[in-house]
Structure 1
Amino acid sequence: MNFKEKTIVSGSLNRIRRSPRKMRLVVDIIRNKEIKNALNILKYSKKHNISISLRKLLLSLLSNCKKKYIEDDFDQKLFYIKEIRVNQGRTLKRLRPVPQGRGHRIRKRSSNVLITLVERKYM
């Protein structure tokens, strides 16, 4: 089946207080999926805190797409996630006191997510 791809919307979410390594576990599951399937996967994911952030971002992208391209034939089923990347964001450095007057460094990592949605048009 031949189809033509047209990049529609891309969006990002920065400084999510989750480590990139944990975010990538969820992101790898929804990569190259249709929007409807991805939203269902995120809804029932066991990584609840991470999936909430990604689900909000996907719903926001769909809403922006509807506003940007006001069309009567807008169909959510034609959209799929072409690209989704998780990069490391800012790291907060904290100290935890340990015996004998020392301190161990605690790194609180954050991540940045970039999503590109594509509309698939069948010919």
Structure 2
Amino acid sequence: MEAIAKLNNCPTSPRKMRLVVDLIRGERVEKALSVLKFTNKEAAIRVEKLLLSAINNWEAKNGKTSDGSELFVKTIMVDGGRQLKRLRPAPQGRGYRIRKRSNHVTLIVDSKNTETTQN
């Protein structure tokens, strides 16, 4: 059984978020949590909370607690979200456009037992 957790309109650029997400893709949940805890980026804090939410969703869906060894990060995607468009003053009366980017993160957690029984 898999469980999904989503984070919408996170005020971090998708490019910066993908740097953190690539570290945990396909890893065991236990290892992914330790990697995120010691990653020195702001996006790691948000992804860690999202991963904990996905674990709780899996536990609620299956009705049992997980010990972390059977769960792994099956899929994690970062998509671009809305952009806030702002103007910064520029020389000679011009204005430069600033795009404050945001992103959407989708995380799917699955158990190893389900994967081996399907094959």
Q: Same fold (TM over 0.5)?
A: yes
Query: Is it true that 1:53 corresponds to 2:46 in the alignment?
Result: yes
Report the alpha carbon displacement of residue 62 of structure 1 after superposing the two structures with TM. 1.1
1:38 to 32, 41, 49: 32
Partner of 1:24: 18
Residues 84-123 of structure 1: CA distance to partner in whole angstroms, max 9, x if unpaired?
0000000110000112111000010001001111101156
Tell me the TM-score normalized by structure 1. Answer: 0.87
Question: Where does structure 1 lack aligned partners over 5 or more consecutive residues?
Answer: 1-6
More helix by share: 2
Take 1:28 and 1:8, find their aligned partners in 2: how far apart are those partners? 20
CA contact (8 A) 2:88 2:96 kept: yes
Aligned residues: 115
Residues 6-21 of structure 1 aligned to structure 2 (within 5 Å): 7-21=1-15
Partners in 1 of 2:61 and 2:74 — Cα distance? 19
Could you give the per-residue CA deviations for residues 14-59 of structure 1, whole angstroms, max 9, x where no partner exists? 1011111111111111000000100000000011x10010000011
5+ residue gaps, structure 2, are none
Partner of 1:3: none
- Cα drift, residue 71 of structure 1: 2.5
Aligned partner (choices 97, 107, 117) of residue 105 of structure 1: 97
1:13 is paired with a residue whose SS is strand
Two-structure CA RMSD over aligned residues (Å): 1.4
TM-score by length of 2: 0.90
Aligned mates of 1:35, 1:97 — CA distance in 2: 46
Match of 1:119 among 111, 116, 119: 111
User: If each structure's strand is expressed as a fraction of its own residues, which one has the higher value?
Assistant: 1
SS at match of 2:69: helix
Structure ranking higher on relative contact order (CA contacts 8 Å, 6+ apart): 1
Superposed structure 1 runs of 4+ greater than 3 Å apart? none
Partners of 2:96 and 2:64 in 1: CA distance: 56
